[in-house]
Structure formats: C-alpha cells, structure tokens
Amino acid sequence: MPNSPADLTIAEFQDLIRQRYFPTDSARGAPGTFLWFTEEVGELAEAIARHERGDDCQDNLEEEFADVLAWLNTLANITEVDLTKAIAKKYYDEGGPRGTK
C-alpha cells in the first residue's frame, strides 16, 4: 500500500477493491455488477446537478465520484481487465481516443 492515500495508484486501488470484494462481486457477475455501477453513475449525476444548482454538499459529490471509481474497478476485476495497462495502452501508447483535438 502507498505511504498515504494521496500516493495511491490505480493498480493499488484496483487491488484493494479486489481484496475486499472479489468473492461477492465475482459471484454476482458482470451483468449484475454493471447494474450497480450504473446506479452509482446515476447518483453521481444527481450530485453533479446539485453542485451545478449551488445546493450541493461537496462531501457527497466526492463520495459519489469515489463510488463510481470503486464500481468501475470492480467491473475491471471480474472481467480480468488491468486498468493500469488499459489506460497506458489507450492514452499513452495509442495517443488517446480518436476524434479528439
């Protein structure tokens, strides 16, 4: 683990999620986990909307971002995707998504 949470890498976070939740997550499977992920994305959308209206709670916004990231890591774990390698390949080796300026 990193010396402090500020030093946490993507690989370390993915491993943390794997260690804590993999048996339950893998039993649920990718389709069920994707439903949980989309629910968290919806909660993030609501938190962003509150933020844009000025009636938000910053703590809730941060919590929802963290939840979405955790569920994304869960999906990566149960589908055997190494996010660090995927990000490096897409954004470093291949130069990022197509159609960007």
Distance CA 51, CA 62 (A): 11
Inside any domain, residue 63 = yes
The predicted model scores a pTM of 0.86
Q: pLDDT at position 96, please?
A: 74
pLDDT band per the 50, 70, 90 thresholds, residue 2: low
Inside any domain, residue 20 = no
Inside any domain, residue 67 = yes
Average pLDDT, the chain: 92
Inside any domain, residue 85 = no
Distance CA 59, CA 46 (A): 13
Q: What is the mean pLDDT of residues 70-94?
A: 95
Inside any domain, residue 89 = no
Inside any domain, residue 46 = yes
Inside any domain, residue 6 = no
Instruction: Count how many domains the chain has.
Output: 1
| 36-45 per-residue burial string, b: 16 or more CB within 10 A, e: under 16 | ebeebeeebe
Q: pLDDT at position 101, please?
A: 46
Domain carrying residue 66: 41-78
Residue 1 reports pLDDT greater than 70 = no
Inside any domain, residue 57 = yes
**5-17: pLDDT as tens digits:** 888 999 999 999 9
